[in-house]
Amino acid sequence: MIASATRLRGLVQVAVAFVIVLMTQRASAHKPSDSYLTLEVDGPVVHLRWDIALRDLDYALGLDGDGDGKITWGELRAQSSEVGAYALGRLTLRGDGDAPCATELDPKGLAVASHSDGTYAVLRFDAKCARDIASVGIDYRLFFDIDPQHRSIARIDAKGTSRTHTLTKNEHEARFTFEDAGHLRQLGSIVKLGILHIWAGYDHILFLLALLLPSVLVRDDKTWRPVERLRPALLDVLRIVTAFTIAHSITLSLAALELVTLPSRLVESVIAASVVLAAANNVRPVLRQDRWMAAFLLGLMHGFGFSSTLMDLDLPRANLLETLFGFNLGVEIGQLTIVLVVVPLAYKARRSDAYRRGGLVGGSIAIAVLATIWLVERVFDLKLIS
């Protein structure tokens, strides 16, 4: 009996630790720090466009010379050489051999572009390889020393095909062979992008976690009691996950097809509010058996959040339906992984006071506090945590 209680406490501690880890990481109020690399192969030359967030460059180089919190075009132009040297010093391209291709920054290529999460500097340059290439290798190292969660979403256009790949600190090297760029490989890269997107989206994870925590309990008057069998818990999870999936699939498609667009700041603010509401409902329940309705209604806005990555990637319209399917499939795989981790742990620990008080109530309060900070940051465009 003592050993069983010890195991239950251990399970609850793991669940609470998961929330604490999220809170102590660089849990940005916005989407993860991204850059966008577009490579167009033309014989021995690779034409590149590199979109890098101004906020990230400012953090690394201090672009905001007057400290007013805004980066002007003049401030960016004044440090264009430093920006180019900093970026190109952290990117290496190789052709068919091991020798790096010579990179040359276009002195007139500096520009700015708007993405869903702010303004980006746009660098254009050419990488000249020794001969016509059948493959290209990328070694990407930008910002990893100051932000380990940074990633680059690369798109490679060659021989009539377009592929995507996500470069991270742990997977910063990749090689692409153009002859192998078939539909299955392209689809696989989009699926992976969807998986990584859900895993890197702390607000989406916490929203789902807040909905899953009470799935192994039943509310009677003012108390929570454990479900007696696994089947009711699984049915509750199925309703919630299905409702959330249908909702975000609808709005993801509408946004990606440019049928409905909403301001990024509004979308991100409502997503933060949805996390607060889902967590608060675990402490002071308003919705009990109908939490799937909340998952559907609030999930509609999460779909607009998911769409930001696809819109920023600017994928060819010809592959859009395939891209939508692959990205959504990746999101579902990432979501299912979270469910398969959380629900068995919660079911095992459901009878303990530690789970009901610490895991459910305490965890929900922690989630609500963090999401409230995100909400304030997003509504008022502030930075309270980093």
pLDDT tens, position by position, 137-160: 999 999 999 988 899 999 888 877
Q: Do 272 and 207 reside in the same domain of the chain?
A: yes
What one-character DSSP code corresponds to residue 41?
E
Nearest to 360 by CA among 371, 370, 374, 345: 345
Note whether 61 and 11 are same-domain residues: no
**Scanning the structure block, which residue is given the tokens 């530690």?**
354
Same domain (yes/no): 12, 134: no
Radius of gyration of the chain (CA): 23
pLDDT of res. 8: 43
How many CA atoms are closer than 13 Å to the CA of 44, on its beta-carbon side? 9
Could you tell me the two tokens for 334? 């990432």
Determine contact, residues 312/30, Cβ cutoff 8 Å: no
CB count in 10 Å sphere of residue 123: 23
Q: Measured on CA atoms in the order 383, 381, 378, 258, is the torsion positive or negative?
A: negative
Domain count along the chain: 2
- On whether residue 385 sits in a domain, the answer given is no
Q: Last residue of a domain, which of 150, 177, 194?
A: 194
Same domain, 302 and 263: yes
Average pLDDT over residues 66-90: 91
With pLDDT > 70 as the criterion, what percentage of the chain qualifies? 86
Determine the residue type at 138: I
pLDDT at 1: 47
* Mean per-residue pLDDT, 84-93: 94
Q: Which of 12-16, 271-275, 300-304 has the lowest mean pLDDT?
A: 12-16
Please state, as a whole number, how many other Cβ atoms lie within 10 Å of the Cβ of residue 252.
24
Query: Both 88 and 156 in a single domain?
Result: yes
**Same domain as 302, residue 164:** no
Residue 381, pLDDT above cutoff 80: no
Write down which residue in 149, 172, 194 finishes a domain: 194
| Lowest pLDDT segment from 162-166, 285-289, 327-331 | 285-289
Q: What average pLDDT does the segment 219-233 reach?
A: 87
Q: What is the mean pLDDT of residues 48-61?
A: 94
pLDDT reported for residue 316: 60
Q: Does 24 score more than 70 pLDDT?
A: no
CB 55 within 8 Å of CB 118: yes
263 pLDDT more than 90 = no
| Domain of 301, in residue numbers | 2-29+201-380
**Per-residue pLDDT at 315:** 62
Output the pLDDT for position 200: 79
Chain-wide mean pLDDT for the chain?
Answer: 84
Same domain, 251 and 291: yes
Same domain, 331 and 188: no
Domain boundary among 143, 166, 194: 194
